[in-house]
Amino acid sequence: MLVVPRWRRPAQLSCHDVGLMRLVVATCTVDYTGRLSAHLPMATRLIMVKADGSVSVHSDGRAYKPLNWMTPPCQLRADADRWVVSNSKGETLTIELAEVLWEVEHELGADPGLRKDGVEADLQELLAARPEAVAEGLRLVRREYPTDIGPVDLLCRDAEGRAVAIEIKRRGEIDGVEQLARYLERLDLDGRLRPVRGIFVAQQIKPQAQVLAAARGIDCVEVDYDALRGAADERLTLF
């Protein structure tokens, strides 16, 4: 990465023209004018101009959340000691630079995006391969079993041959229980399946969801994603 201690700022820069990530550490004040007014007094802060055109001001706290920001489309006028960011709504972000301590620009390139591990699709795949992890004796009939209001994640049969509908969430909340209850109503209209037992599965189920599930006659099962994944990996190990 090339660090430029004092590069020459252009007289005017459009946020649409920014192709690089630009970071500036400066002692500055910041004033926002728009739907309301906000003022940040003189302090040392990080100013970030992203390739998408957004401008944000950060302190050494509040984790990722900026103190103030402007989202694209917007225009950035960067003079020697004063930056003014404006948009079509009439909002402005004015940054008065008392001293620039450090600055750098770098092209990050295309980002492949966040890949989450342990999301609902992963849990569904693992449990479809091992439905007995939910309840002993279960065997899979079909994933994404259709109803006229949407598919239930898994349809299984238990050891006695009775239909079991399983809805899978990463975090079990009330709306997931209600969703499964609606699926059960529709599945019970099919004489080949009726009566259908419901099981609500998640890595963690909130107490309120458990209470509602009990009232709806739905069982709750918490599963350990890492344990499920480990069991799947073991089946693929040769030695």
Number of domains in the chain: 2
pLDDT (average), residues 196-201 = 96
Round to whole Å and give the CA distance between 149 and 192: 18
Would you tell me how many other CB atoms lie within 10 Å of the CB of residue 228? 20
pTM exceeds 0.75 for this model: no
Would you tell me how many other CB atoms lie within 10 Å of the CB of residue 4? 10
**With 70 as the cut, is the pLDDT of residue 235 above it?**
no
CATH number, domain at 157?
3.40.1350.10
pLDDT (average), residues 108-118 = 63
Instruction: Establish if 5 belongs to a structural domain.
Output: no
**Token pair 């002993």 is at which residue?**
136
**With 50 as the cut, is the pLDDT of residue 150 above it?**
yes
**Token pair 């963690």 is at which residue?**
204
Instruction: Establish if 237 belongs to a structural domain.
Output: no
Round to whole Å and give the CA distance between 116 and 95: 37
Indicate if 148 and 227 belong to the same structural domain: yes
- Residues 28, 45 contacting (CB under 8 angstroms): yes
* 8 DSSP assignment: P
65: containing domain: 13-106
Q: Which tops the pLDDT comparison, 120 or 146?
A: 146
